Structure 1
Amino acid sequence: MWKNYVSNLSTEYQFSVPATETELLALQEKLKVSLPEALLTLYQETNGIHGDYGIALIWSIERAIKENLYFRSLTETLDYLEPLDEFLFFSDAGNGDLFGYNLTNGNVRPDDIYVWSHENDQRTVVAASLAEFIKGWATGEISV
């Protein structure tokens, strides 16, 4: 489903092999989150979606774990940031801004996708679903 959806939007994206159950469990355990259904089914189909020059439309699970842990640790040293552990980031804009779901107690609230601005700590809804985000980001309808 996700491969077809993305391929119909653009032919520039490449897909990774599906994520293993072990990788999915590691993501959920290390980040203390329950994956939203849309992201779970995407990862079961492909462990990341990449465009030209290795730029990720959707990070691999390995990168998602690494990036989320790093940005969550920033609030320990940068006291002007609101906590970032209330997000599950899965993509970036290439300029330092990140895209992700908002979390409450490790669960995704609505399926809204947010962009977090690294410059001013602003958090803004950019799409109502993962599918809407992928379409908008891939076609340039969403920009930051």
Structure 2
Amino acid sequence: MRYVDEDAKFFEPASLNEIEEIEAKFNLTLPNELIDFLEETNGAEVRGAGFSSTKYIMELNADFRTDEIFKETYMPLDCLLFIGGSGNGDHFGYSIVNGDIQNKDIYFWNHENDSREWIAPSLEQLFIWWGEGIISV
């Protein structure tokens, strides 16, 4: 992954078993770029944003899909696989269409108004743009 921020924090790589657990739990095939990221670092922190670990990806997505408060407050959240957050309650994720992640586009979900919008063409580009301060939310 391209170096973008000298203050970025990276963690120990995820195991193949942890990655496969996400796929099994949500019945999805993860994009290769996310698998590569998790095999390189099981989460990262860049300029206040967290790019999630396998454990956090599983917990966050399970909560968003099952918690009654989320179900009553927001449109369904199972159309996104959340893989990180901006640090203010908003999150980044891949779009799920017809039960599958069909491309590398990353979307931003605003928890205050429940909007969802495109933010980057790939995880790598999101990481770069965020690290360089080109985008922020």
Would the TM-score normalized by the shorter structure come out above 0.5? yes
Residue type at the aligned position of 1:117: N
1:30 aligns with 2:33: no
Alignment of structure 1 residues 55-70 onto 2, 5 Å: 55-70=48-63
Alignment of structure 1 residues 1-144 onto 2, 5 Å: 2=1, 5=2, 8-51=3-46, 55-74=48-67, 78-144=71-137
Alpha-carbon separation, structure 2, partners of 1:44 and 1:77: 31
Gaps of 5+ in 1: none
Matched residue pairs, number?
Answer: 137
Higher relative contact order at CA 8 Å, sep ≥6: structure 1 or structure 2?
2
Contact kept, 8 Å, 1:48 with 1:56, in 2: the verdict is no
Instruction: List per-residue Cα deviations over 1:113-132 (Å, max 9, x = no partner).
Output: 10001011110001111111
Structure ranking higher in helix proportion: 1
Tell me the CA shift for residue 74 of structure 1: 4.0
Gaps of 5+ in 2: none
C-alpha change, 1:75 and 1:60, in structure 2 (3 Å) is same
Instruction: List per-residue Cα deviations over 1:1-40 (Å, max 9, x = no partner).
Output: x2xx1xx211111221211111011111112221011001
Alpha-carbon separation, structure 2, partners of 1:102 and 1:75: 22
Tell me the CA shift for residue 57 of structure 1: 3.3
Q: Which secondary structure state, in structure 2, belongs to the residue aligned with residue 26 of structure 1? A: helix
Residue type at the aligned position of 2:33: A
What percent identity do the matched residue pairs reach?
35
**RMSD value, Cα:** 1.9
